Amino acid sequence: MSAILGQQFIDGQRSALGGEALQSFDASTGQALPYVFHQANDQEVKLAVTAASRAFAPFRQLLPLRRAEFLGAIADEIDALGDDFIALVCQETALPEGRIRGERNRTTGQLRLFAQVLLRGDFLGARIDQAQPERTPLPRQDIRQYRIGVGPVAVFGASNFPLAFSTAGGDTASALAAGCPVVFKAHSGHMATADRVAGAIVRAAQRTGMPSGVFNMIYGAGVGQGLVKADGIKAVGFTGSLKGGRALSDLAAARPQPIPVFAEMSSINPVILLPEALNTRGSQVAEELTASINLGCGQFCTSPGLIIGLHSPQFSEFLDVFAQNMGSQPAQTMLNAGALNSYRAGLQHIVAHERVDHLAGQPQGKSKAQPQLFKADVQLLLDGDPLLQEEIFGPATVVVEVADRHQLRAVLGSLHGQLTATLIADPADLDRFGDLLPLLEDKVGRLLLNGYPTGVEVSDAMVHGGPYPATSDARGTSVGTLAIDRFLRPVCYQNYPDEYLPQALQNANPLSLNRLVDGQWSRAPLS
């Protein structure tokens, strides 16, 4: 294993100007690991942003092929990290080896997927309206448009995905693909992991001849505010709590030059159980739901936090089986002590409510999270009580029973924005409840049928976003190739000679792009 220095990564060099020390811990035992990290000071934050700003122009002007080579090299470097790296990640997060190996594959896979996006070229959005000098009453000038990176991006690592939503995760990959240098804020829960991955990124940058400031990483609590407020930062990517994401959004909006924050924050991911499906496979649904809720100790942003069913004997039978299943689940170790404390606080909040019943789950222990199942009065949602709108990060869920389809529509209408909504339905249910789909479309970013929201595919069509508070901007996604759109902006060239145009807009179409030319898609060169 290469040495873990615990220093900032700034402009291709290491820096340790701050005096405060930070400690890495074993997530399972709580014991200190032999890795100490230096808290970044204000000067290092400025240096990191300055390095990223200096790298922006040369980096974004590289041909897409060159940036694709960089992303591929990062993937290769991360794949080359040995078994000692896997063991380190498991130690810092208490996640099992199989999960970490799978997450590494997802991380390198999405890097290579964005490399394919760059080679494909459609992200450039090339549009050409050729001159019409003979048009009357006024001639049309030659007008051409493509998209460029917005500038340096601040990315905040997530706690629950130490690889796929962290140092070289989706926000970093999509920003780099867009031509935007990154200043990454390492998550305190897995700093040693971040150090190893950051080293892989820097080696890849050096191998492929990237500007030295294309990737920078800083450690420490409290550095995020200065990072978001820095003039050189032009956008923010964040995955975490509603409180944290909202704070960053408010900071960014209050800047003299406001910038966008793409924050994934809070979602309870409702699952709607329809009658015919429960009639034919209620026990199976109870088993599948239990597995989804407890997957990864419930530490997924798409974990089902609200289960909605219509009053019926079938729903009552389902609930009995569901409670037995949830009550038999073993306790699990959470990512860190902070996550466990937050889980306990969330449980205490809901247990204390007089209109919530506890259906299943053993008392909480000192070091592990016990799965819990609750049933709440439907009127809490209808009255706008915030209790059921709040995500409990951990292996817990709440069931709500509605009287009829009219009340079901009212309950769905009361929900805040979500990442996902799931229908468990047979064909007869879809015929009867088809009017729910437009209502759910207004509430969520991803609609599932007879599946479970945990397990997010990285692909061209995936949407991992949704209306507030699921995200701060429902127009984007943090998973899938469309994530690159967040860090791009359009630029228009009017009446420029061909030789001065970027290659994406030149007549010869040297990048072989599929371009919108005079309202028609074409790869052909222009005469």
- Domain boundary at 393, 428, 449, which? 449
**Same domain membership, residue 210 and residue 105:** yes
Is residue 496, in this structure, part of any structural domain at all? Answer: no
Residue with tokens 């599929």: 514
Domain span at 337: 271-449
Same domain, 250 and 148: yes
Residue whose token pair is 């937050």: 342
Per-residue pLDDT tens for 242-287? 999 999 999 999 999 999 999 999 999 999 999 999 999 999 999 9
Strand partners, 37: 22
Would you say 277 and 427 are in contact if contact means Cβ atoms under 8 Å apart?
no
Beta strands at 356-360 and 306-310: parallel, antiparallel or unpaired? unpaired
70 and 159 in a single domain? The answer is yes
Give the mean model confidence (pLDDT) for residues 154-165. 95
| Average pLDDT of span 471-490 | 97
Do 299 and 313 belong together in one domain? yes
Alpha helices (H) along 301-392: 313-327, 337-351, 379-382
Strands 488-494 and 143-149: antiparallel
Q: How many domains does the chain have?
A: 2
Task: In the chain, count H helices and then E strands.
Answer: 15, 21
| Residue 160 to residue 245: CA distance in whole angstroms | 15
Given a cut of 90, whether residue 200 has pLDDT beyond it is yes
Domain-located, residue 6: no
pLDDT for 513 beyond 80: yes
- Active-site residue identified among 44, 69, 103, 264: 264
Residue 232 — φ and ψ, nearest 5°?
Answer: -70, -20
CATH code of the domain in which 182 resides:
3.40.605.10
Same structural domain for residues 216 and 181? yes
- 377 vs 114: CA distance, rounded Å: 46
Residue 35 lies in a domain: yes
Assess if residue 241 is contained within a domain: yes
Is 114 found in the same domain as 234?
A: yes
**How far is residue 113 CA from its own chain's centroid?**
16
Same domain membership, residue 289 and residue 225: no
Check which CATH number belongs to the domain holding 378 and give it.
3.40.309.10
- Does residue 470 lie in a domain region? no
pLDDT band at 1 (very low <50, low <70, confident <90, very high): low
Integer-rounded Cα Rg, in Å, for the chain is 25
Active-site choice (90, 180, 297, 301):
301
Is the pLDDT confidence value at 233 over 70? yes
Domain membership flag for residue 523: no
Query: Is residue 79 domain-shared with residue 103, that is, in the same domain?
Result: yes
Average pLDDT over all residues of the chain: 96
Residue 311 CA to its chain's centroid (Å): 35
Q: Given CA atoms 508, 513, 516, 522 in this order, what sign does their dihedral have?
A: positive
Q: Give dist(CA 488, CA 180) in Å, integer.
A: 9
Task: Confirm if 501 and 144 have CB atoms less than 8 A apart.
Answer: yes
Q: Based on the fold, state whether residues 258 and 280 are members of the same structural domain.
A: no
Q: In degrees, to the nearest 5, what angle opens at C-alpha 394 toward C-alphas 393 and 396? A: 110
Contact 197/4 with Cβ under 8 angstroms?
no
Known active-site residue 492: no
**Are residue 220 and residue 295 in the same domain, yes or no?**
no
Identify the three-state secondary structure at position 43. Answer: helix
Report how far residue 114's alpha carbon sits from residue 78's, in angstroms, rounded to the nearest whole number. Answer: 16
CA dist., res. 271 & res. 237, Å (int) = 28
Active site residue 287: no
Nearest to 200 by CA among 285, 352, 77: 77
Note whether residue 134 is domain-resident: yes
Instruction: Give the span between the Cα atoms of 327 and 309, in whole angstroms.
Output: 20
CB 52 within 8 A of CB 68: no
Residue 2: is its pLDDT beyond 90?
no
In the chain, the N- to C-terminal Cα span, in Å, equals: 57
Amino acid at 207: R
Q: Do both 365 and 395 map to the same domain?
A: yes
199 and 148: one domain?
yes
The answer as to whether 219 is a domain residue is yes
| pLDDT per position as a tens digit, 58-110 | 999 999 999 999 999 999 999 999 999 999 999 999 999 999 999 999 999 99
